[in-house]
């Protein structure tokens, strides 16, 4: 048993506008268990309420529009019916004493035409195909080559984010997280490997981060900065082995510096390659990028109990995000605190299905002799 005299990991903390019960965060976890119209229901309410022991829950990535969709059976936050579905979730989490934010998501090029309205091509900063497959209603299919957004269309993307932020407020969320990571639309604009534009949204670092800042501005206008977080993944090649930006330190350092103007609740950073490795390429120092941010820092990627305790002991992160351990351990905070063993979920139950492998995981206390 750890001597908790040297850690505040399990103690309440004020972050942004929230008073959180502890510093452990449930990461956004796509589970592909939503109806085809993107409406959550009682099953999702049960799932999230079971995990309300987390200091903060970040919802599974949630589509901001029909165009934003890149995977089958994922939720949306842009229609009245979706708002009503999410109300079941937020009310259940609040009744269990938890705090929950909605992660706002546009996949950009990582989609398939069958998932798009009218079978249209996905959109991206440039017409560069990703290398990978996505989960469609017909099974796994290779992602479609996107079309490049016209300059005049980009204001509409910002409007989609703002509308989704308004819908999240109506649904009873405590705030939102802007998904600008894992090589989806916003990060496709940030990286010069996926953004070959020659207009005001391409070329220089200032131009490539323009859309991200416009989205932050629009979303913060709805919520106030203290209820808005943002997720970045400077060295993740996920979603089709996307090449890194040619100058990670300059690009992401400049972006993080610009984010300070908004008084955001937190910066959520994937340390290493999402789900795969904590290794960082030579010449890149994420701690230096983190140091440029003047607000709370949320660390993510393959954290264990020991890594989390060390990160707080050494003041390297304000919040620690756990993902996959929350799948099979709804009582993860209690298990980490007591150093109880963790259950493991087979990958076969991560995506799709119904309650099996989703809401049927018992708390440790219910199984211990």
Q: Which residues are catalytic?
A: 184
Torsion angle, alpha carbons of 271, 38, 89, 344, to 10: -50
Phi, psi of 30 (to 5 degrees): -70, 125
Distances (CA, A) of 115 to 67, 98, 342: 8, 33, 36
Residues 6 or more apart whose CB falls under 8 angstroms from that of 256 comprise 232, 267, 289, 290, 292, 293
Q: Which two tokens stand for residue 91?
A: 């009310």
Cα–Cα distance for residue pair 62/106, rounded to 1 Å: 8
Taking the CB of residue 309, how many other CB atoms lie within 10 A of it? 19
Residues 6 or more apart whose CB falls under 8 angstroms from that of 310 comprise 316
Map tokens 């600008």 to a residue.
180
CB 125 within 8 A of CB 148: yes
Cα–Cα distance for residue pair 336/226, rounded to 1 Å: 28
- Three-state DSSP at 35 gives coil
CB 53 within 8 A of CB 332: yes
Residues 6 or more apart whose CB falls under 8 angstroms from that of 338 comprise 1, 364
């Amino acid at each position: 048993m750890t001597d908790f005299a040297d850690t505040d990991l399990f103690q309440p903390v004020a972050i942004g506008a929230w008073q959180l019960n502890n510093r452990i965060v449930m990461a956004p976890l796509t589970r592909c268990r939503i109806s085809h119209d993107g409406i959550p229901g009682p099953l999702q309410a049960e799932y999230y309420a079971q995990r309300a022991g987390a200091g903060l829950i970040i919802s599974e990535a949630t589509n901001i529009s029909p165009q934003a969709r890149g995977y089958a059976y994922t939720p949306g936050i842009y229609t009245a019916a979706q708002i009503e579905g999410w109300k079941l979730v937020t009310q259940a989490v609040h009744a269990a004493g938890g705090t929950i934010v909605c992660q706002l998501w546009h996949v950009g090029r990582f989609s398939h035409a069958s998932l798009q309205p009218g079978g249209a091509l996905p959109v991206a900063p440039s017409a560069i195909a990703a290398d990978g497959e996505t989960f469609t209603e017909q099974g796994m299919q290779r992602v479609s080559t996107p079309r490049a957004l016209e300059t005049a269309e980009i204001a509409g993307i910002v409007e989609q984010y703002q509308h989704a932020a308004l819908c999240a407020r109506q649904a009873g969320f405590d705030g939102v997280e802007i998904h600008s990571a894992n090589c989806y639309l916003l990060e496709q604009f940030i990286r010069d490997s996926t953004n070959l534009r020659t207009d005001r949204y391409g070329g220089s670092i200032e131009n490539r981060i323009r859309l991200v800042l416009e989205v932050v501005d629009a979303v913060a206008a709805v919520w106030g900065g203290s209820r808005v977080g943002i997720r970045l993944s400077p060295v993740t090649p996920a979603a089709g082995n996307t090449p890194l930006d040619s100058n990670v330190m300059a690009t992401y350092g400049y972006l993080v510096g610009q984010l300070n103007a908004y008084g955001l609740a937190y910066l959520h950073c994937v340390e290493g390659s999402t789900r795969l490795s904590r290794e960082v390429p030579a010449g890149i120092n994420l701690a230096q990028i983190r140091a440029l941010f003047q607000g709370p820092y949320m660390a993510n990627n393959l954290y264990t109990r020991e890594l989390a305790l060390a990160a707080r002991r050494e003041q390297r992160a304000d919040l620690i995000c756990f993902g996959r351990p929350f799948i099979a351990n709804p009582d993860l905070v209690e298990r980490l605190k007591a150093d109880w063993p963790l259950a493991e979920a087979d990958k076969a139950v991560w995506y799709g299905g119904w309650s099996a492998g989703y809401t049927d995981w018992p708390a440790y206390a219910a199984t211990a002799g």
